[in-house]
Amino acid sequence: MSAHCQLTGARPGFGNRISHSHRRSSRRFDPNIQRKRYWLPSEGRYVRLTLSARGIKTVDTLGIEAAVARIRARGVKV
């Protein structure tokens, strides 16, 4: 599963791991990605979305219909 949110577009960030001696090595900051299933009343079916924790809260605020409309506006197939 790729680590990006379909709604917010959150993707991994990159940076450095810094040891006690201050040597640096690459690391990756992954968003908190969850797969969640929602009932879409307008289409009479379930949709499975890959969302970050922030994306799930956004769906709770906007509603699933508006969230799916935003996802489709970004050009992602649902």
Please tell me what DSSP assigns to residue 3.
S
Question: pLDDT (tens digit, 9 = 90+) per residue, 4-56?
Answer: 999 999 999 999 999 999 999 999 999 999 999 999 999 999 999 999 999 99
Asked if the model's pLDDT at residue 1 lies above 80, the reply is: no
Angle between helices 64-73 and 53-62 (to 10 degrees): 120
Give this prediction's pTM. 0.85
Distance (Å, whole) CA 35 – CA 42 = 21
Beta bridge partners of 40: 45
pLDDT at 59: 97
SS3 19: coil
Asked if the model's pLDDT at residue 72 lies above 90, the reply is: yes
